[in-house]
Amino acid sequence: MSTRVSANELHAFCMTALRTAGVSEAHSQITADVLVMTDTWGVFTHGTKLLRDYVKRVRGGGLRTDVEPQVVASGPAWSLVDGGSCLGHVTSVFAMQDAIERAKKSGIAYVGVKNSCHFGAAGYYAWLAAKAGLIGIAMANDIPSVAAAGSRRSVTGSNPIAYAVPNGNGDPILLDMAISTVAGGKVYAAYQRGEPIPDHWLLDSEGRPTTDSSLYPANGALTPMGDYKGYGIALLIESLSGLLTGASITWQVGSWIGSDPAKPTDHGAAFLAIDVNTIMPSDQFARRVNHLVDEIHQAPTADGVERLLLPGEREWNHRRKAMAGGIDLPSDVVAKLVGLADDLKLKAKWLGV
């Protein structure tokens, strides 16, 4: 059974939990912003459901509360950021904002990140660029959980990538995806709800398709999206997020859930921003985007399909409903938040605690 809560109430709960765990007001604000917006999109696998695990790592010391992300090397159109093992959301917002400012001066910018942690939904950071009128791209690496074509175990992380394209006064075109067939969070969610999974999501330890979600991640590997295509994109993301930044790669990345919470995970990430206005007037670009959107919406559809949707359209519609009438949190998310409230001795009437 779902529980309905307003975005403001959920944000306040996140702030209280993070502040209770020793996170600064500013870092708590950024992290709560990312997680709650993700839930308003309906992407519950990467929203407040993860807060309990972040807090566990904060309390363990693996996520530090006494540091700020810093630019440690830079040029006009690039920089490298050391996250200092603070919350990955904080480092990622810092890095994308740096990319935006550099792109406004140079037209395009790349910002690589090392010494970070899990950063939640990549789409949030891409959206920050689109909100500022730029095209944004965000990505990160992770400990392997995805098989390669023909492998019997995990070879790459699920390595998310997202892009956002500004659309004048309309909703940005927004795609956020893992390079696996589905995000690992969906497998976890199915397991927590006691549900089987489709047989193309996961491979067992022998490389065979399985519907047993309990095998993940210790004895199962996610399948790569599009077989060798997903594997190839995973290595591109690994190159930009890990190899080029100096962050840990593949099996050297710490598990942000399963490893010692006292130790940093050293995730890598990469953020790119393109200043549309440098290449063509922003109003001209907006007209071109609107034309593209209209063309896709007017495309002939198959039986039973009202119209084609653009990437992100479903999420923006979900957010409008959530902001107007509240967020319907699934039972597995509620259980995580109740557990967090119990850990920190917090009260929240809407959670029943």
Q: Identify whether residues 238 and 174 lie together within a single domain.
A: yes
**232 and 215 in a common domain:** no
157 and 250 in a single domain? The answer is yes
Domain assignment present for residue 302? The answer is no
Domain boundary among 168, 198, 223: 223
Whether residue 37 is found in the same domain as residue 147: no
| 270 contacts 113 by C-beta, under 8 angstroms | yes
Same domain, 82 and 196: no
The CB-side HSE value for 186 (13 A sphere, CA atoms) comes to 16
Residues 14 and 46 in one domain: yes
- Domain membership of residue 335 (yes or no) is yes
Q: Which CATH number fits the domain that encloses residue 218?
A: 3.30.60.50
Q: Which residues pair with 130 in a beta bridge?
A: none
Task: Give dist(CA 123, CA 311) in Å, integer.
Answer: 11
Q: Which residue has the tokens 């090397």?
A: 73
β-pair type (220-222, 202-204) = antiparallel
Q: Which residues pair with 5 in a beta bridge?
A: 327
Dump pLDDT digits (tens) for 223-279. Answer: 999 999 999 999 999 999 999 999 999 999 999 999 999 999 999 999 999 999 999
User: In total, how many domains does the chain have?
Assistant: 3
Span between the terminal Cα atoms of the chain, in Å: 16
Which CATH number does the domain housing residue 73 bear?
3.30.1370.60
Residues 175 and 282 in one domain: yes
pLDDT at 184: 84
97, 169: one domain: yes
Q: Within a domain: residue 307?
A: no
- The widest CA-to-CA distance across the chain, in whole angstroms, is 57
Query: Sign of dihedral through CA atoms 207, 213, 217, 222?
Result: positive
Number of helices followed by number of strands (H, E) in the chain? 11, 14
Task: Convert 3-22 to b/e letters by CB count within 10 Å (16 or more is b).
Answer: bebebebbbebbbbbbbbbe
Do the beta carbons of residue 146 and residue 250 sit within 8 Å?
no
**Would residue 303 count as lying in a domain?**
no
Question: Do 84 and 155 fall within a single domain?
Answer: yes
Residue range 26-71, pLDDT digits in tens? 999 999 999 999 999 999 999 999 999 999 999 999 999 999 999 9
Half-sphere exposure in the Cβ direction for 3 (13 Å, CA): 18
Q: What contacts 62, CB < 8 A, 6 or more positions away?
A: 85, 117, 254, 259, 260, 261, 262, 263, 264, 265
User: Distance (Å, rounded) from C-alpha 8 to C-alpha 13?
Assistant: 9
Q: Which two tokens stand for residue 33?
A: 């912003």
Of 243, 261, 195, nearest to 63 by C-alpha is 261
Among 223, 245, 279, identify where a domain stops. 223
pTM of the model: 0.96
Structural domain includes residue 308 = no
Say if 275 falls within a structural domain. Answer: yes
Q: Do the domain assignments include residue 193?
A: yes
In the predicted model, residues of the chain with pLDDT beneath 70 are: none
- My answer on whether 98 and 194 are in the same domain is no
Query: In 157-296, where do the E strands start and end?
Result: 161-167, 170-177, 202-204, 209-210, 220-222, 267-275
Cis upstream peptide for 76 (omega within 30°): no
**What's 39's domain CATH number?**
1.10.1530.10
For residue 5, what are the domain limits?
Answer: 1-60+313-353
Out of 252, 269, 297, a domain closes at 297
Q: Give the separation between CA 84 and CA 10, rounded to whole angstroms.
A: 28
Q: Is 306 inside any structural domain? A: no
- The DSSP code for 145 is -
Does 147 share its domain with 84?
A: yes
Judgement on whether residues 86 and 218 belong to the same structural domain of the protein? no
